[in-house]
A and B are shown apart, each in its own frame.
Chain A
Amino acid sequence: MKRALVTGATHGLGRALAALLVERGYAVVAVDRVAGAGRAGVTDLVCDLADRDAVDRMLPGLIEAGPFDLAFFNAGVSATGRFEEIPAAAYRRLLTVNAETPMVMAAALMKAGAVRGGLCFVSSLSHFTGYPGAAAYAASKDALAVYARSVRKPFARRGVSVTLACPGPLKTEHAARHAPDGADETMRLEPAMAARVILDAAISGRRLVVPGRRARLVALAGRLRPQAVTRWMRRLVFERLGRAVW
């Protein structure tokens, strides 16, 4: 039976990925801070991915549960508001969950030979734009995206493909929590739809996947006119943010 790993699989995109993987016949190992309530075909590994010691304690068991045909590093948290008003501890947590832990986990799995197919790092559409109002989040997602780009060739030499996924806003609790007041929910993509596109890209070992036509347009605009798109993001997000949320 094929095996897959999904981090942050209790909510949002990770939950949709886990469900889709089960549907396609994978045995799924889900790593998250809380277990998803009894899902058939899913084994929960409970771990706070912001806690270094907890991650180090979890890794041997995870390697034992492999080798994985697919691994999705999807877990992420955000912090939105004025940069200087968000507590330092929230930034530390965010940078660990979003950037450090996926890198540490990927390196440990590769070293142990516990991946035999493809890795997929879930970054963000913000990789293609500036993201005023979520500067540390943008930093973490840029770091993860460039880690994915950097390891693509060295991991390919070991027979493992690396896919970088940069989804835009999704219809998830996460997005609703961090979106500015009055944001247009119809602009957000269904997580199940994004999961399908990302899974297909990871299976075929594609270098980059940006699910949704609207997100692809933003990515293109961000590449062509980075400053103009960043200013647009300021009006769209930063100037409409209410209180800080982390």
Chain B
Amino acid sequence: MTRRAPATHQAQAEPGLRPPGMADRVLITGATSGIGLALANRLSQRGRLLLTGRSPDEAVRSVLPADAAYARADQSAPEAAVAEIEAALARLGWDGLDLAVLNAGIGFVGDPADEPAARLRATLDANLVAAVLISRALYPRLAFGRGRLVLVGSTARRGAADFAGYAASKAGLHGLARALAEEWRGRVAVKIVHPGPTATAMHAKAGHDPGRFARLFASPETMAMLIERAAGSARPATTVSFARFAWRRAPKPR
């Protein structure tokens, strides 16, 4: 892989290159809460961040890392979200991107025989269509910066009776990542990480009560740590299931 080439030579040939592990210019979508915010907090220590979410700037500014840039990009309208992200990248003057984490996602719980069309469409738009269009739009910057694209999937991607649309959208991300990892090999490293149950607001937003099992869920901080670790591995797909996080704990932010 190109990243393993001697850094001095590459640095001359490719102005956008950074040594491995120094994620310098980082985009994280869906970074205003949950796993995305925990990832932003981790990565803010070693890179410049562009974060996105669907809330207005003033509503989330206080929870985001202090020096991170923020763009409101509501993925329920994927084409508009792409335009917002591209505009924000242009404002920052980033012609290359070292790491993009496409984490934003929504889900709904319910009987699939009673699922309204609007919900299926909203889930697929935010989770899958937006990821396809954002990946496509980021390609020139990722390729220029020899960057890394990380998609956040879900362990539900193998199928889930109560989250059929959500599971489908995450399976779609898996198919996208598998294909792109091979297609972009040597240009952009592509990776999908499938987190297991995590204690975020998503369950409540989705209308799901995990009951006493919630105690066993990973904290967003632990999951962010494991996603960051998995993102650096060479395998195109990693599942961070319960067995992987049961004995690991990341420190809570102060």
Contact = CB atoms under 8 A, between A and B. Distances in A.
A176 interface: no
A138 to B, nearest CB: 4
Given A52-B121, A135-B180, A95 B129 contact: yes
Main secondary structure of the interface of B (DSSP, over half): helix
B178 A226 contact: yes
Range, interface on chain A: 35 or more
Given A95-B124, A155-B113, A146 B132 contact: no
A139 B183 contact: no
B171 A131 contact: no
A45 interface: no
Interface stretch (B37-45, B53-61, B162-170): B162-170
B183 A100 contact: no
B213 to A, nearest CB: 20
A107 B117 contact: yes
B132 A149 contact: no
Interface stretch (B100-108, B153-161, B195-203, B214-222): B153-161
A155 B161 CA distance: 9
B182 A233 contact: yes
Given A83-B180, A134-B179, A145-B171, A95 B121 contact: no
A150 B174 contact: no
Contacts of A153: 161
Nearest to B112: A151
Contacts of A141: 175
A43 interface: no
B236 interface: yes
A41 B157 CA distance: 39
Interface string A127-170: 10011111110111111111101111111001000000000000
A99 B133 contact: no
B136 interface: yes
Contact of A107 (B112, B137, B173): B112
B145 interface: no
Interface in A94-135: 95, 99-100, 103-104, 107-108, 110-111, 126-127, 130-135
A83 B113 contact: no
Interface string B12-24: 0000000000000
Contacts, number: 164
A171 interface: no
A211 B26 CA distance: 45
A198 B194 CA distance: 32
Interface in B42-85: 78-79, 82
A108 B136 contact: no
B120 interface: yes
Contact of A150 (B112, B176, B185): B112
- The DSSP consensus for interface residues of chain A is helix
A139 B181 CA distance: 13
Given A107-B113, A146-B159, A139 B164 contact: no
Interface string B84-125: 000000000000000000000000000111111100110010
Contacts of A158: 113
Nearest to A135: B179
B178 A147 contact: no
A132 B158 contact: no
A92 interface: yes
A83 B139 CA distance: 9
Contacts of B184: 83
Given A131-B179, A134-B179, A227-B236, A146 B124 contact: no
A126 B132 CA distance: 17
A151 B182 CA distance: 30
Nearest to A144: B168
B133 A100 contact: no
Nearest to A55: B117
B161 A132 contact: no
A40 interface: no
A143 B133 contact: no
Contacts of A100: 120-121, 124
A100 B123 CA distance: 10
A158 B113 CA distance: 9
B128 interface: yes
Given A83-B139, A111-B114, 16 more contacts: A56-B117, A83-B179, A92-B129, A92-B133, A95-B132, A107-B120, A127-B175, A130-B175, A130-B182, A136-B176, A146-B158, A150-B160, A151-B113, A153-B161, A155-B112, A238-B182
11 contacts: A83-B184, A84-B136, A91-B132, A107-B115, A130-B236, A132-B182, A132-B183, A139-B172, A230-B178, A233-B182, A234-B183
